[in-house]
Amino acid sequence: MQVNVGRQQDYVRRLSKRKRTLASYTCRPSITDIVVTNKTKEKMEIKGKVHCLFEQSGTFKKEFKKLGYDAEDYDIQDNFGETDHVVDLFSHIETAYAGGVQRYLTT
Amino acid sequence: MNSDDLVMAFFPCIYFCENNNLFFTGKHINLSGHTKDFVEREIIKRAEQRHYLYVLLVKLFNVCTNRGLRLIVENPYSTEHFLYNNFPYEPKVIDRDRRRRGDYYKKPTQFFYHNCEPTHGETYTTPKMLKRVTSATPGIRQGICSEERSLISPDYARNFICDFIIGKTQVHSQLQFEF
């Protein structure tokens, strides 16, 4: 049976155009914009505090507080005068790794 | 800190980003006009700095592994990023366009989740302003990231927390039309 390649190509072209038209009507963004693996429907329960480390942690700290969570931020600098704990996080991580007792990164 | 807490680290990425690859080839603009000896010494210095930060990041994960702490680490995302092929953990959330959730920059970002899992929500917000990374003011010196470039908008922070951490549906979430 001979296959009319030209008609097949027309059909595929029209099908692609139809899909593109439909896609433009949906409000769903492209599926490649966000990739989430191992996503879970269970909401994360944060019964304790949220500790935001390093630069730009202040923005997330404020939003966590607005959502009702107890949050603190830690950074070596205090450019905006809003950092809760001005500490050398690098040395704290080193000490915690070495098994030492530090105020922030230990239980 | 204990296992009821959450640690969210915006770990310094200055030595992991793709522009470091250009630095290590010796063709970065900061190295132009210098002697070969200077260039080689700067490369050695930067390699040591990157190694230090990389080891520190792995140590942070190790501390959280041993103590059962929940950790989320944020870093820029690209296939040229140092952590793409050199890290024992894979990111669980990759946001290729932060502007969709209200941030100023597109800035693809990856989030590593340790001892916890992400939720998935769809809260889309039009950003109040759009910026380009190339137009941001540069850092105060070499090795320091520009503050303007590091800015995260409060809208994005809130949307990210609700969509990918606590799984909260927000009132202004955009409806999805199904066909």
For B93-130, write each residue's pLDDT tens digit: 999 988 888 888 888 999 999 999 998 888 888 888 77
A53-100 tens-digit pLDDT: 998 788 899 999 999 999 999 988 777 778 888 889 999 999 999 886
| ipTM confidence score | 0.83
Q: How many CB atoms lie within 10 A of CB B5?
A: 19
B68-94 tens-digit pLDDT: 999 999 999 988 899 998 999 999 999
Closest CA to B80 of B25, B152, B39: B25
A19 touches chain B (CB under 8 A): no
CB A59 within 8 A of CB B17: no
B16-69 tens-digit pLDDT: 988 788 889 888 888 888 999 999 999 999 999 999 999 999 999 999 999 999
A65 touches chain B (CB under 8 A): no
- Output the average pLDDT for chain A: 73
Q: What is the maximum alpha-carbon separation in chain B? A: 64
Q: B69 contacts in A (CB within 8 Å)?
A: 107
CB contact under 8 A, B154 and A59: yes
Q: Evaluate if pTM is beyond 0.80.
A: no
Identify the pLDDT of residue B106.
84
CB contact under 8 A, A67 and B174: no
CB B62 within 8 A of CB A94: no
Q: A51 contacts in B (CB within 8 Å)?
A: 1, 5-8
A22-53 tens-digit pLDDT: 444 444 445 456 777 766 667 788 999 999 99
Average pLDDT over residues B9-14: 90
Distance from CA of A1 to the nearest CA of B (A): 36
Q: A100 contacts in B (CB within 8 Å)?
A: none
Average pLDDT over residues B149-159: 85
Identify the pLDDT of residue B178.
41
Task: Print the SS3 string covering chain A.
Answer: CCCCHHHHHHHHHHHHHHHHHHHHHCCCCCCCCEEECCCCCCCCCCCCEEEEECCCHHHHHHHHHHCCCEEEEEECCCCCCCCCEECCHHHHHHHHHCCCCCCCCCC
- Output the average pLDDT for chain B: 85
CB contact under 8 A, B7 and A53: yes
Closest CA to B156 of A37, A49, A82, A59: A59
Identify the pLDDT of residue B169.
83
pLDDT category, B131, cuts 50, 70, 90? confident
